[in-house]
Amino acid sequence: MNAAFVLYDNLTALDLVGPYEVLAGHSQVTPHFVAAKAGKVRSDNGLALHADFAFDDVPTPDVIVVPGSSQWRSALDDEVLIAWLASVHKTATWTTSVCSGSTLLAKAGILTGRRATSHWAVVDTLTDDGAVVCNERVVVDGDVITAAGVSAGIDMGLTLAATLFGEMAARTIQLALEYDPQPPFDSGSPRTAPPEAVAFLRAALNGS
């Protein structure tokens, strides 16, 4: 099973690495880091990642994982990336996104009429490209899975792992990762975070 983990300039690293750690260790998965061209790609916080393959080298992946970016509006102008997503989705078994990566799927026409989610600060923009917005952590609609912000990529990966390999395999992966969230604060949602933090991030992520 060929899995394409999509890289592009200024992606959010954990969006990609979270589901990668969940899925890539399974014996049935062959991971491919893909980008418009092979080589180094930097995340939005400066982490250097490496694309082993260009998009043209991976024309028919079985699974597609699309991360988001804190600079998601700029990513929407990446015509090469959008065109590749629109093309490979047609033959993929699963197309997935994490955080604002769903805005790229929407731009590619993949979410038209589908239920989908994204980071809380940008999720409502999905309606501009025909998606049905859902404020849930992971949303499955047909052969597309979208996840909410950043850390939700691990949940998405486990959801997909359970579908692909069975619940016991997914549970075992969760245990191997010791994914047992016990955060020191209850600010992981706009419902519980301080209002000033919500306002700051909403403005920052929407370029205002």
Do residues 150 and 15 make contact, with C-beta atoms less than 8 angstroms apart? yes
Burial call 108-141: b when 16+ CB within 10 Å, e when fewer: bebbeebbbbbbbbbbebbeebebebbeebbbbb
Q: Which of 7, 23, 75, 99 is catalytic?
A: 99
Do residues 70 and 99 make contact, with C-beta atoms less than 8 angstroms apart? no
**99 flagged as catalytic:** yes
Output phi, psi for 65, to 5 deg.
-120, 120
Q: Please report, to the nearest 10 degrees, the dihedral formed by the alpha carbons of residues 13, 18, 23, 24 taken in order.
A: 40
Output phi, psi for 147, to 5 deg.
-125, 155
Greatest extent of the chain over all pairs of C-alpha atoms, in Å? 46
Alpha-carbon distance of 113 to 99, in angstroms, equals: 19
Amino acid letter, residue 146: T
Alpha-carbon distance of 206 to 123, in angstroms, equals: 11
Which residue's structure tokens are 């394409």? Answer: 4
Q: Could you give the residue numbers annotated as active site?
A: 99
